[in-house]
Amino acid sequence: MLQSIYSSLTREAEACPGFYAPVERVCIGQVWTLVQVKGQTGLCMTPQSYSRTLSWSGELCGRPASELIGWLDSWQPFETTLAVAALNAVLRGGADYTDMMAASKTLGGGNLAVFRAMREQLGNGKISVIGRYPGLDDVLEGLDYVCIERNPTEKDLPDQAAEAVLPQSRWAFITASALANRTLPRLLQLCSEPTTLLMGPSLLWSRLWFDQGCDYLAGVEVVDADRLWKTAMEGGGVRIFQGAVGYRLLSRDGQKG
């Protein structure tokens, strides 16, 4: 399933003007990795590890975006992250992205805008959130929710709990960065029952996700690219939502066919 998703996304990118264009800028920040292609910036969450021996450091700009996208098959986490960010940038230059932006809804500011926008719909059922979002407890206070996190705090469940928890949930919020760490296909398989929302700055704007069972997509629109690059290079995390990017929400019913 993972290879099928990667192949489908790559084919979509091949139809975009930036696929063979040179990479213009790269930043591997503390929280966000950015890649710029034909003036479009793509994001992916940076791996929460580090390496002093990356063989390509200082040599990525000028390479065709297609080369970085080819790293989707890599098992090196920084390469997979760069592949998703490059793919994100290339897809933003395509016609499908323009159509999806026109069909989507602009949400309020902040990293928790998606949860605030959806809260009234969540009802009394079990809510599962893949990935820990700063400030989430305040927004979902009073609701029956659990956070599943690869690096769990004392409030979270470890990622292995997804196998048991997701099928019993009414709502599932899944971080799109799971594509880079290769866990996303299995998470989507476990979400045949809950209403599923795929979200985060790492989201690749593609209708493919509706075919994979997602009911909502919540990704970001780059509002101020210069501010985004400066914030990411200076170690910013949630601060990218302070004027650099903003969430947009697209439902399966609202997509343009």
pLDDT at 65 (0 to 100): 99
In the CATH scheme, what architecture does the domain 98-224+241-251 have?
3-Layer(aba) Sandwich (3.40)
Q: What is the pTM of this model?
A: 0.95
- Where along the chain do its domains lie? 2-94, 98-224+241-251
User: How far is the C-alpha of 212 from the C-alpha of 200, rounded, in Å?
Assistant: 17
pLDDT at 256 (0 to 100): 42
Tens digit of pLDDT for each residue in 155-177?
A: 899 999 999 999 999 999 999 99
Residue with the larger pLDDT of the pair 257 and 101: 101
Mean pLDDT for the chain? Answer: 95
The bridge status of strand 245-251 relative to strand 216-222 is antiparallel
Facing residues of 247 across strands? 220
Q: Assign domain 2-94 one CATH number from 3.30.390.100, 3.50.50.60, 3.40.50.300, 3.40.50.720.
A: 3.30.390.100
Residue 109 has pLDDT above 90, yes or no: no
Tens digit of pLDDT for each residue in 235-244?
A: 999 999 999 9
Tens digit of pLDDT for each residue in 57-108?
A: 999 999 999 999 999 999 999 999 999 999 999 999 999 999 999 999 999 7
- Percentage of the chain beyond pLDDT 90 is 88
